[in-house]
Amino acid sequence: MYQWDFAFLWSYRWLFLNGLGVTVGFTVAIVALGLVVGLAGALAKLSSFAPLRWLSLAYVEVFRCTPVLVQLVWFYYALPILSGIEISAITASMLALSLYGGSFYAEIIRGGIVSIDPGQTEAGAALGMTPFQTMRRIILPQALKRMIPPLMNQSIIQFKNTSLVSVLAVPDLLYQGQIAAHDSYRPLEVYSAVAVAYFVLLFPLTIIVRQGEKKLSTSD
């Protein structure tokens, strides 16, 4: 019978806290960058200028249809050969995860925008608004409300995806866990604790999303 022992984990607390800080920091950065990329991708996909639409389509499909782990490894090991520029593991991870997230955000944002009744665009145009004014004042405020739950969902997935950066030796929560496991020879307790840490952070977020969805379905 295995003898559980969680007490020793306390001696690794700073390691875990550090890792947690990197994980949370990474998530904030890739969500923010991903949203900017996603908004640009969505607007490009809705553009009346065909080459922009093709570019956006190619970007979204390439990043949605390749595994994020492959993208991470590609950005770290392959991109420097192609571009001739040496990039750090952190930069490569940031790029890969932001672009990966952005491709999903782009589809969510585009879907939110096209879900708004075309009559709204017509009403804006009939008042003499430019397409930009209609988008900013009429369409986006309504679309945003519908986009928030799926955007939150995708961001939760992004949070979990940050654990993949450990393969590039970025010192996130999982990577620090690996160090602690090798050091203590107790992978069962260490990795269980790591899983609990992710769960404790994410579970409240999923509840918030679910409540948001419920509120949304009653308000429309």
Partner 1 sequence: MNPQPKIEIAALRKQFGQLVVLKDINLTVEQGSVVALIGPSGSGKSTLLRCINLLVTPNGGSVRVGGDSFVFGTGAKLPGTRELARFRANTGMVFQHFNLFPHMTALGNVMEGPVTVRGKSKREARELALTLLAKVGLSDKVDEYPSRLSGGQKQRVAIARALAMEPDVMLFDEATSALDPELVGEVLSVMQKLASEGMTMVIVTHEIAFAREVADRVIFMRDGLVIEEGPARQVIDAPREAATQAFLSHFHRGGAATPPAETAL
Binding region for partner 1 (CB under 8 A):
117, 119-120, 122-123, 125-131, 133, 137-138, 141-142, 145
Residue placing its CB nearer to partner 1 in the complex, 123 or 208? 123
Residue number with CB closer to partner 1 (101 or 112) = 112
Residue 174's nearest CA partner among 154, 160, 185, 186 is: 160
**51 vs 128 by CB, closer to partner 1:** 128
Query: Smallest distance, Å, CB 128 to partner 1?
Result: 3
Contact 166, 174 (CB under 8 A): yes
Q: How far is the CB of 204 from partner 1 (least distance, A)?
A: 28
**Cα torsion for 17, 19, 23, 24, to the nearest 10°?**
20
H helices of 65-186, where? 68-73, 79-83, 89-114, 118-126, 131-134, 140-161, 173-184
CB 44, min distance to partner 1, A: 18
Q: How far is the CB of 149 from partner 1 (least distance, A)?
A: 17
3-state DSSP helix/strand/coil percent for the chain, to nearest 5?
A: 85, 0, 15
Nearer to partner 1, 9 or 129 (CB): 129
